[in-house]
Amino acid sequence: MDELPLPAWPVVVWMAMPRPKVARRLWMHLAALGVEEIWVTGGDGVEASYLHSGALSSDELSRSLLEGLEQSGGTHLPRVVIERRWSREWLRTQLAQRPAYDRWVADTDGKGSPVCAPQHGLILAVGPERGWSEREREWLRNLGFRTLCLGPRVLRTDAACLMALGLVSSVWPVPSAVASAWQV
């Protein structure tokens, strides 16, 4: 029996660049989960040197992403967008390409929105380990991002990202080849 390829999960993970050691671990996991796209940006709490590390080299990204695909049996290589200095204008342009996608920001803010299944897709923003600055939080709220509360503890970016994706998958499962075949 021929197996159908696993489809991409219509999730864009936008993360402020974590420490390079953390980033290297995270690429593999994001590919294994089948996310559609990964945006890596700077931010108020991001150490500038992180954005020039080997963790963002095309060789390192390719190796780690392919390792994740091999482990999961996936076939969709996530597109990676690196924007060293993000601005509201850059973000508006990115968001305009996915107007129907829900927008959530993972945060420690205890006033999070209830987790519900996105209708078409999801853009999940995960800040640096120090968290988003108040200025960045305000921008995100103004652009329609809802808070996905991860609790009061400060988490490493990889833990926060995987915890947030786990919460999302509890209400909106990662698509399987079987489910996709039924939709054809």
What is the structure's pLDDT at 176?
A: 65
Q: Is residue 140 a part of any domain in this protein? A: yes
Q: Is residue 2 a part of any domain in this protein? A: no
CATH of residue 64's domain is 3.40.1280.10
Q: Is residue 91 a part of any domain in this protein? A: yes
End-to-end CA distance of the chain: 18
More confident residue, 101 or 174: 101
Q: Is residue 94 a part of any domain in this protein? A: yes
Cβ-based burial of 84 (10 A; exposed 0-12, middle 13-18, buried ≥19): middle
- Separation of alpha carbons 8 and 165, rounded Å: 14
- Separation of alpha carbons 17 and 129, rounded Å: 9
Nearest to 106 by CA among 84, 87, 85, 128: 128
Q: How many domains does the chain have?
A: 1
Q: Is residue 3 a part of any domain in this protein? A: no
In sequence order, what E strands does the chain have? 9-16, 35-41, 79-83, 102-107, 122-126, 146-149
3-class SS of residue 31: helix
Tens digits of residue pLDDT in 141-177: 999 999 998 888 888 899 999 999 999 988 887 776 5
Domain around 27: 9-183
Tens digits of residue pLDDT in 12-71: 999 999 999 999 999 999 999 999 999 999 999 999 999 999 999 999 999 999 999 999
Q: Is residue 4 a part of any domain in this protein? A: no
Q: What is the DSSP letter of 115?
A: P
Tens digits of residue pLDDT in 116-144: 878 889 999 999 888 889 999 999 999 99
What is the structure's pLDDT at 180?
A: 46
Which residues, listed in sequence order, are joined to residue 79 by a DSSP beta bridge? 37
Nearest to 45 by CA among 131, 150, 116: 131
